[in-house]
């Protein structure tokens, strides 16, 4: 089966959960199908074709630059029997290939543009274009993969013209051989963390979706013995970066041992940070699944996360972590949940062990890939 996998992010340029998903899915699919990956970037490698926005659009809106990449990708897909796109950055390429070559288009929805209105800050009028591209592709796709049951409900609510029979749930996965407890402490020492003090860890982009401003306010009042470690980068806009910096300065004025790591760390370093955290926190206000929670669980760490989207399908409340409802009391709820875990290290260890067991047993990438290929086969049989 000749499959084209279409994505914006692909190693070494991975900055979000969708990129992690495609990276590991592609690795597993390569042994099951004849796979070509089309992504953003420069150059070619075995099985990977990279595309860059047209230079004539260097000063244009980012949505237009994205469409130029989609045209470039579509032009290269002749001969593929099926195309599978990820995120709005690549969905239009999949839709164009479907029309141009008469092949099935499957798309995985990692998030939905109608549920991310803050993207208008980043894209301006381009947000209307990204929404148009997503709607056009999703309503015409031969099959749509939702990364959680909650995501499937969101898809059908946002796009009621879509036939529910075409929307399939295939959860995100985790490589539990890569994400596993690391007893080393060299990374912690190099980053200046005190090994004798517990720390709360956040890993994610500086974006409204991830609830970063709420987190910075919530951790002001947690146990003063705890360190706060923020692996936070890739801000969506200059405005949210300024807001983050202001809140970070305010936080540093009221408590010590607050660490901001603005760069993307290599995966082994993130694994060590996840392993030794007293608690990992995911304060997202919108999250179709939240693969980063799986990463923390696979490293044996308790999780405090917002009770939104697909997160409750990953984090078992009271068993692998604590869930905080997204209410008017959200920030105070985060503070209480973090303090609850910090105050009981034995319970946190039990949660971490249960999280590791859950990640290994239910979310392996080999299982995700086999389910995906079955959907490919069904779609080719019954387009």
Considering the domain architecture, whether residues 11 and 61 belong to the same structural domain is answered as yes
Considering the domain architecture, whether residues 57 and 28 belong to the same structural domain is answered as yes
The Cα–Cα gap between 369 and 305 comes to 27
Residue 288 maps to a domain: yes
Q: What is the pLDDT of residue 234?
A: 84
Burial class (CB in 10 A: 0-12, 13-18, 19+), 332: middle
The CA dihedral of 258, 334, 20, 242, to the nearest 10 degrees, is: -50
Q: What is the pLDDT of residue 290?
A: 84
189 and 217 Cβ atoms separated by less than 8 Å: no
Considering the domain architecture, whether residues 209 and 309 belong to the same structural domain is answered as yes
Helices (H) and strands (E) in the chain, counts: 14, 14
Average pLDDT (201-212) is 93
Residue 178 maps to a domain: no
Considering the domain architecture, whether residues 65 and 158 belong to the same structural domain is answered as yes
pLDDT by residue (tens digit) across 274-293? 999 999 999 999 898 888 99
Considering the domain architecture, whether residues 216 and 312 belong to the same structural domain is answered as yes
- pLDDT band for position 116 (cuts 50, 70, 90): confident
Among 43-52, 114-123, 310-319, which stretch is predicted with the lowest mean pLDDT?
114-123
Q: Which residue intervals of 170-321 are DSSP H helices?
A: 186-190, 212-218, 238-254, 267-276, 291-298
Considering the domain architecture, whether residues 345 and 253 belong to the same structural domain is answered as yes
Instruction: Give the residue numbers spanning the domain of 206.
Output: 186-362
Considering the domain architecture, whether residues 258 and 126 belong to the same structural domain is answered as no
Residue 78 maps to a domain: yes
Considering the domain architecture, whether residues 57 and 160 belong to the same structural domain is answered as yes
Tally of structural domains, the chain: 2
Q: What is the pLDDT of residue 121?
A: 78
Average pLDDT (116-144) is 91
Structure tokens that stand for 141 in this block:
């796709």
Q: What is the pLDDT of residue 15?
A: 79
Distance of CA 191 to the CA centre of its chain: 25
Considering the domain architecture, whether residues 155 and 85 belong to the same structural domain is answered as yes
Considering the domain architecture, whether residues 269 and 135 belong to the same structural domain is answered as no
Calculate the average pLDDT of the chain.
95
Residue 249 maps to a domain: yes
Considering the domain architecture, whether residues 123 and 251 belong to the same structural domain is answered as no
Q: Which of 316, 337, 318 is nearest to 326 (CA)?
A: 337
Residue 181 maps to a domain: no
Beta bridge partners of 85: 6, 107
Considering the domain architecture, whether residues 167 and 251 belong to the same structural domain is answered as no
- CATH at residue 107: 3.40.50.2000
Q: What's the pTM?
A: 0.82
Among 3-12, 81-90, 282-291, 299-308, which stretch is predicted with the lowest mean pLDDT?
282-291
Residue 180 maps to a domain: no
């Amino acid at each position: 089966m000749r499959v084209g996998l279409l994505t914006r992010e692909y190693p070494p340029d991975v900055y979000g959960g969708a990129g992690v998903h495609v990276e590991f899915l592609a690795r597993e699919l390569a042994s099951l199908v004849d796979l070509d990956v089309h992504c953003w970037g420069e150059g070619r490698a075995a099985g990977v074709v990279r595309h860059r926005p047209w230079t004539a659009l260097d000063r244009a809106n980012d949505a237009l630059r994205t469409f130029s990449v989609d045209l470039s990708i579509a032009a290269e897909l002749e001969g593929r029997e099926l195309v599978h796109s990820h995120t709005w950055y690549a969905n239009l390429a999949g839709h164009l290939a479907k029309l141009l070559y008469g092949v099935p288009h499957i798309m995985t929805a990692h998030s939905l543009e109608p549920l991310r209105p803050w993207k208008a800050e980043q894209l301006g009028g381009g947000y209307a274009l990204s929404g148009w591209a997503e709607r056009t592709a999703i309503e015409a796709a031969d099959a749509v993969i939702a990364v959680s049951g909650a995501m499937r409900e969101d898809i059908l609510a946002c796009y009621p013209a879509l036939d529910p029979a075409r929307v399939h749930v295939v959860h995100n996965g985790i490589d539990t051989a890569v994400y596993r407890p690391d007893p080393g402490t060299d990374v912690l020492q190099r980053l200046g963390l005190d090994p004798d003090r517990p720390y709360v860890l956040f890993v994610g982009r500086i974006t409204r979706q991830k609830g970063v401003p709420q987190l910075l306010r919530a951790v002001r009042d947690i146990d003063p013995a705890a360190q706060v470690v923020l692996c936070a980068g890739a801000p969506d806009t200059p405005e949210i970066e300024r807001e983050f910096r202001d809140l970070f300065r305010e936080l540093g004025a009221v408590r010590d041992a607050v660490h901001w790591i603005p760069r993307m760390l290599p995966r082994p370093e993130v694994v060590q940070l996840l392993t030794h955290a007293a608690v990992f926190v995911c304060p997202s206000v919108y999250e179709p699944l939240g693969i980063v929670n799986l990463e923390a669980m696979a490293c044996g760490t308790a999780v405090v996360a917002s009770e939104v989207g697909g997160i409750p399908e990953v984090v078992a409340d009271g068993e692998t972590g604590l869930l905080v409802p997204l209410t008017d009391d959200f920030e105070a709820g985060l503070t209480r949940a973090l303090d609850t875990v910090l105050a009981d290290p034995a319970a946190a260890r039990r949660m971490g062990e249960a999280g590791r067991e859950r990640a290994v047993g239910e979310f392996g990438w080999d299982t995700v890939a086999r389910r995906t290929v079955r959907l490919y086969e069904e779609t080719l049989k019954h387009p």
